[in-house]
Structure 1
Amino acid sequence: MLEKDPFKILFQKQKIGSIFKSLLVIKNPVKSFIGFIESSVSVLKHCSKHHLTTEGQVIHGHLYKLGISSHRHIAIKLLIMYLYFRRSAEVDQLLKDYNEFDMIVHNCLISANVEWGNVDNARKVFDEMPERNEASWTALISGYLKCGRVDESMWLFWRNPFQNVISWTAVISGLLSNGLHSKSIHLFLEMLRDGVRPNHVTFVSIVRACAEMGDLEFGMSVLSLVVKVGFEGDVSVCNCLITFCLRLGEIEMGRRIFARMGKRDVISWTAILDMYVEMGDLGEARKVFDEMPERNEVSWSAIISRYAQKGYSKDAIELFRQMIESGVNPNSSCLSSVINALANLKSLHPGKTVHAHVMKIGMTNDVFVSSSLIDLYGSCGSPKDGRLVFDTVKNKNVVCWNAMVSAYSSNRLQEEAKMLFDQIPMKSIGSWNSMVSGYLENEQYDKVFEVFNNMLLSGQTPDISIFSSVLCACANLTSLEKGKDIHGKTFKLGFQHDVFVGTSLVDMYAKSGDIENSKRVFNKMTEKNEVSWTAMIQGLAKNGFAQESLELFQEMENTARIKPNGLILLAILFACSHCGLVDTGLHYFNLMEPFYKIKPNERHYTCVVDMLSRSGRVREAEDLIKSMPCEPEVNAWAALLSGCKTHGEDEIAERTGATIQEVAEKKSGGYVLLSNVYASAGKWPEVMKTRKLMKERGLKKSGGCSWIEVRNELQLFYSQDGSCNDLNEIYGVLEQLKYHMLVLFQHN
């Protein structure tokens, strides 16, 4: 009986570093040769797996000195190690020293070439082999499938003399990885006809194929076969079946499979966790999570990610804190999720704490984590910190570039965003989207069109999001011709039926005053959401079609069964205000909280004040302002003041004017409105007095802006802007127009 090997015991009890040191001090391994060989093989295997090049070479040198490097087991492990390291010179030398044919060596060469993507070299080794076994054929067939050369792999497979469950399963899995789900199922049926019994890996692959194809009927047949063959207790098969049920919406069946499992692993619990999350039942998902006998980074990441994705940012952050306290290191997915949750909450200081933890565990070079950190700093108004993160990422991907561009854009640093955008080595649709969205948010609509045109010239096809943004720019500029041009492009690319594009078109036409085209687009939409109805109702109301907007609102409630939101009700109040339907407007306003469960905000109250003031019910309007549960807008007081002027309520007008001056001391808006009201009443001394007050208090009115579209190009003009080269010529034309208008007026 062989004596227990001390090196083997050391390997089992201590880290590999201890064995490494122990092997190097051995001068004469004869006393425990078998144990020494086993330990050497284990260390070489470890060096291969963890890519420890220097340590592997040191062990090789020591084994060479001891004269046992040519031992078959050690020589093969050395060859595998150098193949892993891709050290061709050492591989060639070992092959020369190991001159005789060895099937294991040749199989290793085939596998290595397949791993490197040199499938033709693998085929050359295969063809030169005097004899081959099952591993030789399977390795080469799998290699062809891995490289997407399906026809060549199938040619080899049907000529394989060693067809068994392993080779069949390898091809089924390979077809699946190439997206050939139907072919993998047909091959599975062929395998059954050939009398080959599937194993657990076969079932996992075929269930995945059923899930990808959405074939519930065949999936149920596979489930029956799983039970018949006796794999219903296999953990990996059951896990795959649970995921299959989840994908196809068969929630109850997935529960039953989980309940019957005698043994479960982390994947099982995570799968059932996902199931409850997809159902929207985060409470039950949390219950499952709390019941899990063990949790690893995957299970923690699953629950944290789901909470973050569903908008429960605070819960996600609390779970992350518990995870760190339990000693589990988060993976990149988990870190990205919790950083995104912090970005949603704009929590800068906690975000910096997580950033410090990222640095501590050495994940600063993970592009997805870094991209999330850049988003965090951008959301918290600290793009400089985001740039520091961006500059430290060695291998930036397009997501990282886009995150930094968005961070600049969201903080109104469009010049910096443009400079960085121009440096992106390979722009994605997301890159263009970041620039378009940035200019849109900063109301630089002319730049939106400029970027859009450059994108078209680059050959990049716009997506739905970009079309929606550009149409929004058209709507804000009331640029009907550009809007029609974009509408045509959506038809050309087949986006005209998309609900988001359709909604943007409805809004664009309505804001441009083309209500007929707006209605035409809306009526042709195959799918309408809450935003679509809002855009159409608002469009009708603001274009003076108050009665139509009310009728559409009733249709939305009665036919489409969509509950109104705050914006829709605001549009209804606006419509009632501008067509004198005061009682109808008050009816809907009074229903908001008790019936629609929507608490009126300042804008709703302003609209009702305007409605009452226009109809002469000025005292009611004043009482309403005084009873508001929130701070009244300056616009509400302005609407009341305007109503006083129209209906001759001088006493209320005086009180209102005084109030506007009080509430607008730090805002120019109130004084501008007050000045405009005085001007419309012809009270020029009061106008001058108001403007003098603004000047004394250092308040400034933002410069006016107007634009005109000439030959599909926008020309923008800003108040008191003397930068235009043709300014004198423009003013000259305006003076001529003014003269002709006066002559025409006097003549009439």
Structure 2
Amino acid sequence: MATIFKTLSVLKNPVKSFVGFIEASVSILKFCTKQRLISEGGVLHAHFYKLGIASNRHVSVKLLIMYLDFRKSAEVDQLLKDYDGFDMIVHNCLISANVNWGNVDEARKVFDEMPERNEVSWTALISGYLKCGKVDESMWLFRRNPFQNVISWTAAICGLLSNGMHSKSMELFLEMLRSGVTPNVVTFVSIVRACAEMGDFELGIAVFGLAVKVGFADDVSVCNSLITFGLRLRRMEMAAEVFEGMGRRDVISWTAILGMYDEMGDLREARKVFDEMPERNEVSWSAMISRYSQQGYAEEAFELFRQMLENGINPNSSCLSSTINGLANIKALKPGKNVHAHVVKIGMANNVFVSSSLIDLYGSCGKTTDGRLVFDTVHDKNVVLWNTMISAYSLDGQLEEAKKLFDQIPVKSIGSWNSMVSGYSRNEQHDKVFEVFNDMILSGQNPDISTFSTVLCACANLASLAKGKDLHGKTFKLGFQHDVFVGTALVDMYAKSGDIENAKKVFNKMPEKNEVSWTAMIQGLAENGFAKQSLELFEVMESTTLIKPNELILLAILFACSHCGLVDKGLDYFNSMEVSYNVKPNERHYTCVVDLLSRSGRVCEAEALMMSMPCEPEVNAWAALLSGCKTYGEEEVAERTAGKIREVAEKKSGGYVLLSNVYAAAGKWPEVVKTRKLMKERGLKKSGGCSWIEVKNELNLFYSQDGSHMESNEIYGVLELLNSNMVIQIQ
């Protein structure tokens, strides 16, 4: 405010410099309106009233505009009383204000009461009707408009375009040309956009040709619209050619071409354009940061974000979300907290999209308490925010907290249900997966593709064929039977449930198969004892598709070769993994080959392979080698293997379990007890074995020495009775 009065005080004597003082007053009122400084504007009004210039027409009109913009009805009414008689500018201001407020009927009333009107009056009302979607009323007025110049034509064309009537806007443009009115820059920009919306490349080029003829070939706005037109229609070369041919470019030109390289996924060229930009706005910074983040370069995205702040550019919600999401992917908590601090500083803490990203960041870093603080500070929570917090709890294994929050959601979306279903699935609580799924069906919410994929995965893990078949039927009912993800999940479910025939039927009927689909079928055949069919299908995939074998497919192939006794073929696949398939063998691949050699009696080769491995052998590899030693009587190798197992046991609980099993197989029960006791002393735990049975659509889970089942007493009673009867039978 002091600066404003200082500006006015430059004109020491309002009487001597009256015209200049009025011009300065008008400029300052414009500034107050633009900067939303209503309090300062009110003080100025009082000051002008004291000086006796508040009634000056120029000043009073600007005061009226300011109060209308802030919807100060009392001040507006007072100013209107001060006007003596009809004033066209005042009435036009009232029409525009009512249009901006959405009161088009009130605007029409003011319009009808005007004794005379100018082109501003007609254009403002026509635009108002179009803005409210009342196209027929606007066109009725347009046809009766006595001031049909380029501004009114353009306003009508733009209005039709904003209502999605692209063809109608083009028809009006052609009528405008026939009437002899020359289009201006805004007209051309709008009509090129219409061509883009209609997807008519030839028409767009023709419009640009007319723009060249009229003299707008070098206009930045027209060229920018043509670049956007080319990008929308995927004519990248044309867009680049227009950009290169521009004599003058603005930040929109550069940002558009930057967006082009972003769309193409050419990060290097996009960065080159970004670095060459003479001026950058928040859109260009955000585009570059988002692309780095999406392609997995979180550190680069964060560095750009930091540079953006140093350049005085305030990030928008999209930019903040992209930066935070990138940091969440690499679990970078410290820089994430720095971004969070900036979010609070600039007043974006209540933005639901930014807050969702922050919750995701804290959840991925195991800091759900901090995520919950973010969640609780947001006043107007949307369903996305609720779902993100539930997912964060699920990711951290806090399923009780997740369920508690889930039950509190005011309105659950499909994403809410999926967050809960996937949470239980991720934590291997498959019985809970079915509970939530059943509740979802009862609530009236239809499952989507993601739901089916997750629930079918639970069926596969529990080998629950009856539930899987029921879900298969539901996919037909909802029309998901041809979806590649649902189809893949069904193949996996049937294969893991031992129903390989149905797995093959689903696979063969799939109209589209991806890498995961082939993997599920090849692996399913191999694990169900159809090793030769698995290898045949692999060869079909290689010869008929462009899919490159991945780690899992090659693992299944090695497994199949091992169980078919195809040693040499398995070794050929293993030795050509890196050369032919560009896949580096991991511990599981080596274990398969050790098993392959051990099963065929080539125990010494298996041992040599384990000694030469670039990574530490798995416990299962030692078990496979030991099994081969036992089968083929290789006592020396068996002794060395047992020694290695003892070494592994010092590091991993799995080694102790294997050592215990070795002693058990040899009948050395005191050694078994000693090994188990040693595990307990060292705080090592073996994950308990689990059995389950489904009775009347209810899943019953049992763990070793488990008494948590509701009918555990009765169950153990029956087991004791069976044990007694077995003892009697043996005797």
The answer, yes or no, to whether TM exceeds 0.5 is yes
- Inter-CA distance 417–121: structure 2 relative to 1 (3 Å threshold): farther
2:337 corresponds in structure 1 to 352
| Deviation (angstroms), 1:547 | 1.6
Structure 1 segment 176-215 matched on structure 2, within 5 A: 176-215=161-200
1:149 corresponds in structure 2 to 134
2:432 corresponds in structure 1 to 447
SS of structure 2 residue aligned to 1:595: helix
Match for residue 582 of structure 1 among 567, 572, 582: 567
1:8 corresponds in structure 2 to none
- Inter-CA distance 720–41: structure 2 relative to 1 (3 Å threshold): farther
Amino acid corresponding to residue 162 of structure 1 in structure 2: F
SS of structure 1 residue aligned to 2:701: strand
**Aligned equivalents of 2:340, 2:162: Cα separation in 1:** 36
- Inter-CA distance 437–154: structure 2 relative to 1 (3 Å threshold): farther
**Aligned equivalents of 2:103, 2:695: Cα separation in 1:** 59
**TM-score, L = length of structure 2:** 0.93
The C-alpha deviation readout for 1:162-215, integer Å capped at 9, x for no partner, is: 333333333333333333434434443444444443332233233333333433
Amino acid corresponding to residue 514 of structure 1 in structure 2: D
SS of structure 2 residue aligned to 1:29: coil
2:89 corresponds in structure 1 to 104
* Higher mean displacement: 511-520 or 322-331: 322-331
Amino acid corresponding to residue 481 of structure 1 in structure 2: A
Match for residue 485 of structure 2 among 500, 521, 531: 500
Match for residue 695 of structure 2 among 710, 713, 718: 710
Match for residue 368 of structure 2 among 369, 383, 392: 383
| Deviation (angstroms), 1:591 | 0.4
2:42 corresponds in structure 1 to 57
Match for residue 438 of structure 1 among 423, 429, 438: 423
**TM-score, L = length of structure 1:** 0.91
| Deviation (angstroms), 1:630 | 0.7
Match for residue 114 of structure 2 among 129, 133, 136: 129
Match for residue 205 of structure 2 among 217, 220, 239: 220
Residue 399, structure 1, aligned to residue 393, structure 2: no
Residue 567, structure 1, aligned to residue 552, structure 2: yes
**Aligned equivalents of 1:735, 1:198: Cα separation in 2:** 95
Match for residue 300 of structure 2 among 289, 306, 315: 315
Give identity over the alignment, percent.
78
1:339 corresponds in structure 2 to 324
**Aligned equivalents of 1:650, 1:686: Cα separation in 2:** 19
Structure 1 segment 244-283 matched on structure 2, within 5 A: 244-283=229-268
* Higher mean displacement: 267-276 or 17-26: 17-26
Unaligned runs of 5+ in 2: none
- What is the aligned residue count? 731
| Deviation (angstroms), 1:127 | 3.2
Is the CA contact (8 Å cut-off) linking 2:645 and 2:658 kept in structure 1? no
| Deviation (angstroms), 1:259 | 0.7
* Higher mean displacement: 602-611 or 499-508: 499-508
- Inter-CA distance 522–363: structure 2 relative to 1 (3 Å threshold): same
**Aligned equivalents of 1:448, 1:651: Cα separation in 2:** 50
**Aligned equivalents of 1:522, 1:580: Cα separation in 2:** 27
* Higher mean displacement: 384-393 or 181-190: 181-190
**Aligned equivalents of 1:288, 1:689: Cα separation in 2:** 69
* Higher mean displacement: 223-232 or 603-612: 223-232
Is the CA contact (8 Å cut-off) linking 2:11 and 2:17 kept in structure 1? no
| Deviation (angstroms), 1:558 | 1.6
* Higher mean displacement: 291-300 or 675-684: 675-684
SS of structure 1 residue aligned to 2:15: helix
**Aligned equivalents of 2:180, 2:497: Cα separation in 1:** 71
- Inter-CA distance 525–293: structure 2 relative to 1 (3 Å threshold): same
Residue 517, structure 1, aligned to residue 497, structure 2: no
2:407 corresponds in structure 1 to 422
SS of structure 2 residue aligned to 1:594: helix
Is the CA contact (8 Å cut-off) linking 1:24 and 1:59 kept in structure 2? no
| Deviation (angstroms), 1:587 | 0.8
**Aligned equivalents of 2:141, 2:662: Cα separation in 1:** 88
**Aligned equivalents of 2:106, 2:436: Cα separation in 1:** 48
- Inter-CA distance 241–637: structure 2 relative to 1 (3 Å threshold): same
Is the CA contact (8 Å cut-off) linking 1:138 and 1:167 kept in structure 2? yes
Residue 536, structure 1, aligned to residue 521, structure 2: yes
Amino acid corresponding to residue 197 of structure 1 in structure 2: T
Residue 68, structure 1, aligned to residue 53, structure 2: yes
Match for residue 367 of structure 1 among 352, 361, 364: 352
- Inter-CA distance 165–575: structure 2 relative to 1 (3 Å threshold): farther
| Deviation (angstroms), 1:739 | 7.2
**Aligned equivalents of 1:20, 1:740: Cα separation in 2:** 105
Amino acid corresponding to residue 129 of structure 1 in structure 2: M
| Deviation (angstroms), 1:627 | 0.6
The C-alpha deviation readout for 1:312-347, integer Å capped at 9, x for no partner, is: 223223333333444444333322222222212211
**Aligned equivalents of 2:447, 2:161: Cα separation in 1:** 31
**Aligned equivalents of 2:388, 2:54: Cα separation in 1:** 52
* Higher mean displacement: 162-171 or 577-586: 162-171
Is the CA contact (8 Å cut-off) linking 1:638 and 1:674 kept in structure 2? no
